[in-house]
Structure 1
Amino acid sequence: MQAVIVPVTSFAQNCSVVWCTETGKGAVIDPGGDLERIEQAIETHHPVIEKILITHGHFDHAGGAAELAERLGVPIEGPGADDGFLIDAITERGDDFGVPNCRPFTPSRWLTDGDTVTVGAQTFDVRHCPGHTPGHVVFFHQPSQLAFVGDVLFAGSIGRTDFPRGDHPTLIRSITTRLWPMGDDVTFVPGHGPVSTFGQERRTNPFVADHVLA
């Protein structure tokens, strides 16, 4: 499995193009906008995109999903159904924050904790990690020890919880009970900023390091 990060929108959101090296089939995770930039990455690396995966319903992660799905003729999977209210209002929220052309959609499949999604011959485990949004999910590829965590966790920080239906204690619980058990060696791609590992964040993150929560 290989992946490339494509920063999109004025919020430098980490859209990811991932693909199975065995089959050449791929997926786009969180296409928030700047679709031409995403399509250029697809042309450069040549995966055959078979689906779009969404971690949560905020406009900078999901605003371009409807149009990209139409352009590529592929389904959308995720996020959790509790983020439906965010997707329904995605056009207005995008306009409010200067990200135009965001469009609502109904995914082909809402995701829940314990589901799996496939990309070619590869399988990703789905973990429901609410707190930043109520329907937030993360995608974990165990063979490569790589997780795509959206806005749950960042290098040196955590997701905001002051948006509608955000909840700080729930977010901390999601991180400690859904992410940490994956293992310290797991590398994660956050929704914004540089990649890190769960072990690094358990040692140094000022919000969720082990010594902070002890």
Structure 2
Amino acid sequence: MSRFWDRGTVSFDDVPAMADGTLELRRFEVSPFSTNCYAAVCAGKALVIDPGAAGARIASALDGVEVSLVAATHGHADHVGGVAALVAATGAPFAISAEDAELAQVARSAHAFGIEYDDDAPAPSQLLAAGDVIGVGEARFEVVPTPGHTPGGVCLVGRDAAAGLAFVGDTLFAGSAGRTDLPGGSTPTLMRSLRLLATTIPASTHLLCGHGDDTTMSWELATNPYLR
């Protein structure tokens, strides 16, 4: 069965927009795999990232906030399994990379393992590509392709009011990196993506991972064996 824990507001005092209340970051733990779903809320609107399950409950938790876009860092079921219900509840468009759009349509395959998700993700309204910018209010996120865990994985790197934050999905974890033994995964490709992140994301950036704890690029550069 799907799980849903509303972790509430995440606060980083060294991110100016969060410290002064311009940007609010909400975290929900969803799916049997404890996927981190995030809602970046700015100017009364929300960008929801990786609703892996419990889409209707995420919508209820964001009552009073307009969900303007639902985006996925990649197409695995534990990151898109709640998209259909969230989109149905809010009317928001759905965005994912072209390479992972088909992957996002097979959330039901998880049922063979006794795992329940809301439904397959709907067809995307927007295909995310390198250099695209998405966001809400003054909070902007640049799309950075980081294939390897899946063929079309992306990271969303904060700009403007969101500077200092990056949603890295399952590309990079605290002390680890995404697995590559699932269909479409590639270790050499993932290593190239990790090198790209290591050389382009400022060391002070907070990394919001698809599972587990958040971390910083500086800490990962110093300790993560996949980046050293």
**TM-score of the superposed pair, with normalisation by structure 2:** 0.84
Mapped contact 2:48–2:71 kept (Cα < 8 A) = yes
Tell me if 1:129 matches 2:146: yes
Correspondence for 1:50 among 43, 55, 68: 68
Aligned letter for 2:171? V
**Cα offset, 1:122, TM superposition:** 2.3
Distance 2:143 2:60 in 1: 28
- Hey, what does 1:11 align to over in structure 2? 33
Runs (5+) with no aligned partner, structure 1: none
The Cα offsets for residues 87-112 of structure 1, whole Å up to 9 and x where unpaired, read as: 23221135435133331321101111
Helix, strand or coil at the partner of 1:142 = strand
Aligned-residue offset at 1:194: 0.3
* Further displaced range: 117-126 or 56-65: 117-126
1:177 and 1:31 mapped to 2: Cα distance? 26
1:174 matched to 2:196: no
Residues in 2 aligned to 1:100 and 1:107: alpha-carbon distance in whole angstroms: 18
SS in 1 for 2:87: helix
Partner of 2:10: none
Indicate the SS of the match to 2:128.
coil
- The one of 138, 144, 147 aligned to 2:166: 147
| Contact persistence 2:55–2:83 (CA under 8 A) | no
- Pick aligned residue for 2:209 from 186, 190, 198: 190
- Unaligned stretches of 5+ residues in structure 2: 1-22
TM (normalized to structure 1)? 0.89
Report the 3-state secondary structure (helix = DSSP H, G, I; strand = E; otherwise coil) of the residue aligned with 2:141: strand
- SS where residue 89 of structure 1 aligns? helix
Q: CA-to-partner distance for each residue in 1:117-137, whole Å, 9 max, x for gaps?
A: 131232211101000001111
Bigger fraction of residues in helix: 1
Task: Give secondary structure in 2 for the equivalent of 1:110.
Answer: strand
When the two structures are aligned, how many residues end up with a matched partner? 204
In structure 1, what is the equivalent of residue 87 of structure 2? 69
Out of 45, 68, 72, which is 1:25 matched to?
Answer: 45
Percent of aligned positions that are identical: 37
RMSD: 1.6
Give CA-to-partner distance per residue, 1:110-166, whole Å, 9 cap, x none.
Answer: 111111113123221110100000111111113431000100000011000001110
